[in-house]
Structure 1
């Protein structure tokens, strides 16, 4: 087992990522390392990796198109108008305020797919209010991370459809055919687990907390916050993208339809189309390439011959179904903590989980749940994840919020523990 190429390459990848080495290079180096350990040459391993990258081509294209959608929306006052309207009716009671922020964050993953782009618009102007009501920002960090993760983990729309498609494709690559509806039927367990974590976080951080920070002046243009033809056009494009992806279960087609509608309705000026696409590419290209390379890494692991040995060993030491489930979830936690991306983790863990679940006689539904939950584990709490980096960027505008102790530690505790418990119970019962 000490020479198993799967184990050693994943350990190498995790160490490199935790040392903050470039994630893309970490995965590439680890893939080549796995190939060499299994007796394949560098050229042959590279060929396997490149051929395996096709497993995430659709998802990579979706990310690029969604990036363009997000840029188009961010170039209007649409997000600011929505936030301004909601802020006027928000109660100054901390619990309601935190829940409202979680709800707004959730919309960024499906209805208006801007991902993390809303945080610089929403959070900095609210910092004086947070200080006034003595709100513990750790609760807000948990609310933002919840909104960035729970919707795609539990609902097959927006970024959730991307997540579900990766699960479906990677399970197929490893010999198990499932549908989006099969995934939707079980992944609500992950969403409920995170909701429990959010409620516990709000209760834990309900006490007043005083921040000795300087006031941050945020430039706002409230006099310009009104719906114009451009905002209506972009909003129409966002709804068209949302509708098409639900009707067709095809994210690239939905995003493309939304972009075409925005251009046709002049939400995106014709002479600005190139700029929008370029900015969208810049926003999402790195994540898209991580997904592609991760799929190639998964292919190398499958070809290495080490998975069957690992499965046999894991089955032996786990002793029973419960032990095997816990081992898989802990492995998923470590891998995702290293990579910092739920989406990029799936190709790696699916190559191990599908045969392992089969050896434990787990159902297809249990296998789906374990892959989905294990991929999400560690994204909350990972210092390298955009689910933690983005909340910190907004909450630390006045220097009063620490990335590790105020974002990573709270989100790790309140989301990963409920996910492990929910994933374990769900997999045992399914």
Structure 2
């Protein structure tokens, strides 16, 4: 998380619409199978959106659980005063297992070594650890293989009898749920049913069974079980183009990335632009300098292709993205003449004003939209809008604060102030 920054003429900002996030959580919950609850996954600083504000907003909207990858993330949520159930799944030997036990985290166990670590931590803490056994049903990453499942289940039951652990969940993860109809999905569900049945026959009585990620939550009601784990969908981004756009899925992107134009200048025909001169101007033209680069998370792979809304039109990155900046060719004519230093340049947002989306940048960089939002760096301040859960609105533009600072911010309302052509107050 970044600290509060001066409120005059910000270089760049990532506007985070907490009202949109709450709306996404409500929409996802509305589509769940009866009895299923929703976990909001807030790993990796909530996919770059800011973990603590987003976690609180998701819980306000009815999320029952939170999910993180690392124990440090989960413990930071507890330190922020969040008491909701938290599942943390990416543990390594020597991690803060005892702190996890004492914080009441649900700790994922995929093998005997992890069960030994958590039982030792529980004895040291003098309290029962909450653990969830993860099954590898076909993804081939974390999780216990079916052949090793009987040993892990038996050891977990013995630990329960000893009082060192309580098995609160049985879970797995899908490999290709973003490919509707792929046969691996049904195959994994079959294996999960078998492994859950085995554990329950052995005496495990889990509070929750879960396998559904964002794409499965949206398309496979038979995968919902007791709980779904929604990550990217909470932040309004489609899990994949084959499932549809965010709008088609009833989701609203939460992040808008914008900057203030740092320089506008005329250059002659044939002028090279940025490193390597991979771009040369085709005629006398106007260039605009955008003060964001790959150090901020703008993908260098999008050089020459990344779209930006500036001066009422979508332009492409001209030449290579540098560490701190890139250039757009504004052309000539009234639209170019209207662009001035301090004018807004919107890299991506919900698309309401014709601005590109994170999906557009993903296509330009030959990656996925998950990466586009998650990679936005710490020197880009997060500006939170629509923080008040009692005043949800359909569009952005509410009161803003920076990085959890509840003082009103003088340059908030960034995306909400844009006009129909994307222009507006560049504060």
TM-score (normalizing by structure 2): 0.25
Higher Rg of the two aligned structures:
2
Q: Taking CA–CA contacts closer than 8 Å with sequence separation of 6 or more, which of the two structures ends up with the larger relative contact order?
A: 1
Q: Which structure features the higher share of helix residues?
A: 1
Q: Which structure features the higher share of strand residues?
A: 2
